[in-house]
Structure 1
Amino acid sequence: MAIVNVTDQSFKNEVEGTGTVLVDFWAPWCGPCKMIAPVLEELDKEVDSLKIAKVNVDDNPESASRFGVMSIPTLIVFKDGQPVDKVVGFQSKDALKSVVSRHQ
């Protein structure tokens, strides 16, 4: 499954449906955000049942504010449209797999 870029307008349609979605709140100027991008690419290839979405907080402040994103990268796991887990800062692939697996 490809990683999707989500906007404030498309958030509900892309994230708040059924299944498990990992949402990466990021910004282009954020160093740790750049570091986690290839980790998310690998995770996307390895975990078939997971959808990954990216929200640029500079361009989409409404979504970031709605979910209390104060630092980036913030990754929130949504299960059937509801936020069920959150991690802040750079995470290894194994750490992200562990977080996601608790909700699949």
Structure 2
Amino acid sequence: MGNQENLSNEEIFETMNTGKKMLFFTAGWCPDCAFIKPAMPDIMKKYDQYDWITVDRDANLEVAQHFGIMGIPSFIALEDGKELGRFGKGERRTPKEVEDFIQSIA
């Protein structure tokens, strides 16, 4: 399905209500986000049953507040707008940990 970036709050809220979505909350200043970011294209390609949405926590503060995101990087899996699971809470994560989370909600 691919990755969508630079969406407005409104666009994210509209698109998250249909199908399987994986929200990846990140920010340019976040060192733990920078750690996982190089692995994300491969993870997104491997788990393409999700439509990935990269959410900039600062640019999309309304979305981050809606989901109660206090730390980044964080991941939230949705299906038709319903939360399937979340992972992260602002701690450094390895690519394997991210993949284990995705597999746990499959």
Determine if the TM-score, normalized by the shorter chain, exceeds 0.5. Answer: yes
Correspondence 1:1-104 to 2 at 5 A: 1-5=1-5, 6-19=7-20, 21-88=21-88, 89-104=91-106
Distance 2:48 2:70 in 1: 30
Q: Secondary structure at the match of 2:10?
A: coil
Deviations for 1:26-81, whole angstroms, at most 9, x for unmatched residues? 11111111111122211112123122111111111110000000111111111221
TM-score between the two structures when normalised by the length of structure 1? 0.85
Is the 2:13–2:63 Cα contact (8 Å) retained in structure 1? no
Residue 28 to residue 91, structure 1, CA distance change in 2 (3 Å): same
Residue segments in structure 1 that go unaligned for 5+ positions in a row: none
CA RMSD of aligned residues (A): 1.6
Tell me the percent identity. Answer: 22
> TM-score, normalising length from structure 2?
0.83
Please give the alpha-carbon distance, in whole angstroms, between the structure 1 residues aligned to 2:11 and 2:71. 22
